[in-house]
A and B are shown apart, each in its own frame.
Chain A
């Protein structure tokens, strides 16, 4: 009887070890927030740096002269955008890859406001050096497509490219540019949808040479 009880107990212990009724797990998640396991993959930063070095800052991209674009948008915004821009999202904003020469007419926390002569009309053009938002750098070339990524990775790719622009180009401009400086630039642009005035162009710098 005792032998049978001991055997049964031993069997129960073995079963509990092999098939534990519960697991003790560490609870992770940032303080005060909801744990998010929907994260972008770790190699997005690498992909962004590679795209910046191999595609954006080399001669593989063919920008439009910024004054040509503005003139076209002044004449007919729809035709001008269709001719010189890219619109990856259905019904979404247009993105433009631009280059040109300009003079810095004022500087604020967001960046350098550019002057380009009478051709600008009432357009305002900001070469951003502060925080850069949006996906112009990702989307203006048409070389990167959503269908090749998860949405998390694609969004993170845009954010990483913005950071590269801020750190590699914006930081130098913040340090060296002055009102009256002449510069040459290549940049990715979009209309400022938050201001909503329809003629403020925001440029995320890719290459800038101060003269």
Chain B
């Protein structure tokens, strides 16, 4: 006799026992939010990275907001303070500085907001749950091998580096040199940073050409700089006899390779990195704690052999 009453009481406790209890109209639960912090949106490559991350986060059921650090660590720090205070569930993070950005990631992690880096690595084993990075070293190694094939085992060349605080800059440089430095007849006559910036690369290349008019090649840490260097070579009347090598696989560079203006680049896959980081964040938020701490995404060599097929 008591059993139906007890069952009814239990059900009532859990949410109602039939009847016509007045309840407020069900409000849709707002989707959890994910923040996407990117180093800059002033470069189409990072726009693709950010937009893909947002689309993938939305596909997994999150609301996503993009924060642009404008290559400024102080702005990045302000974004992280805002993100932590605003109740975001996770951060998909493209850092401004491998060392300097660790503090921001640590701050978020300690506040219970897990961080997933994409593209740019930070120098920490535990500030981020997972780091999805391009295999820059392997890509630059392949560019280096092709460089030796094209330039030969003797010659003089210039290297334009990206941002010196970015690990990608040095992994590309070291991968390239791991090959080229094995040929003692290849001499680097200048190595300068142009901050991944096309117009800076143009200016620097103009100066370098005045000091070293006899170079045979230039290796650049990204395609924007390679195209800036090409512009300087064009202005100096050297575009035909100085080979230009880049990195990124931008459509402008692929077009330049197909038109024999550049020799090669290494194609990165920002969409894959962003999608992987978003997937990892979703898995983590659903309880998966077996994510890899670091994972590499492949980079492919682009030369005149395959440039035409990669043009969009």
Contacts and interface: CB of A to CB of B under 8 A. Distances in A.
A90 B178 contact: no
B138 A89 contact: yes
Interface string B111-136: 00000000001010100000001011
A contacts with B: majority SS: loop
Interface string A48-63: 0000000000000000
B17 to A, nearest CB: 52
A150 B296 contact: no
A33 interface: yes
B295 interface: yes
Contacts of A151: 121, 133, 136-137, 167, 171, 294, 296
A38 B98 contact: yes
Nearest to B134: A89
Interface in A135-194: 135, 145-147, 150-152, 155, 158-159, 193-194
Contact of B170 (A145, A146, A152, A194): A152
B292 A36 contact: no
Given A33-B191, A92-B296, A151-B294, A196 B137 contact: no
A194 B142 contact: yes
A89 B296 contact: yes
B161 interface: yes
B186 interface: no
Contact of A194 (B136, B146, B188): B146
B131 to A, nearest CB: 9
A131 B167 contact: no
B interface: dominant SS: mixed
A32 interface: yes
A91 B141 CA distance: 17
Contact of A133 (B167, B179, B305): B179
Contacts of B142: 193-194
Interface string A28-43: 0000111110100000
A145 B169 CA distance: 22
A100 interface: no
Nearest to A146: B294
Given A146-B295, A151-B121, A89 B146 contact: no
Interface residues of A, number: 28
Contacts of A116: none
B149 interface: yes
Nearest to A38: B170
A80 interface: no
Contacts of A34: 161, 164, 191-193
Given A32-B191, A90-B295, A147-B295, A155 B174 contact: yes
Contact of B301 (A36, A92, A193): A193
Interface string B169-208: 1110111001100100000111111000000000000000
A168 B6 CA distance: 81
Contact of B298 (A35, A36, A93, A150): A93
Q: A38, A91, A146: which has the most chain B beta carbons within 10 Å?
A: A38
A194 B144 CA distance: 10
A134 to B, nearest CB: 7
Contacts of A32: 188-191
Contacts of B192: 34
Interface in A52-89: 88-89
20 contacts: A32-B191, A36-B173, A38-B98, A38-B167, A89-B297, A89-B298, A90-B276, A90-B295, A92-B297, A92-B298, A145-B292, A147-B295, A151-B133, A151-B136, A159-B178, A194-B149, A194-B301, A196-B301, A196-B305, A196-B306
Given A34-B192, A90-B295, A151-B137, 17 more contacts: A32-B188, A34-B191, A36-B170, A38-B167, A89-B138, A89-B298, A90-B298, A92-B297, A92-B298, A133-B141, A133-B178, A133-B179, A146-B295, A147-B295, A151-B167, A152-B170, A194-B145
Interface of B: 98, 121, 123, 125, 133, 135-138, 141-142, 144-146, 149, 161, 164, 167, 169-171, 173-175, 178-179, 182, 188-193, 269, 272, 276, 292-298, 300-301, 303, 305-306
Interface of A: 32-36, 38, 88-93, 131, 133-135, 145-147, 150-152, 155, 158-159, 193-194, 196
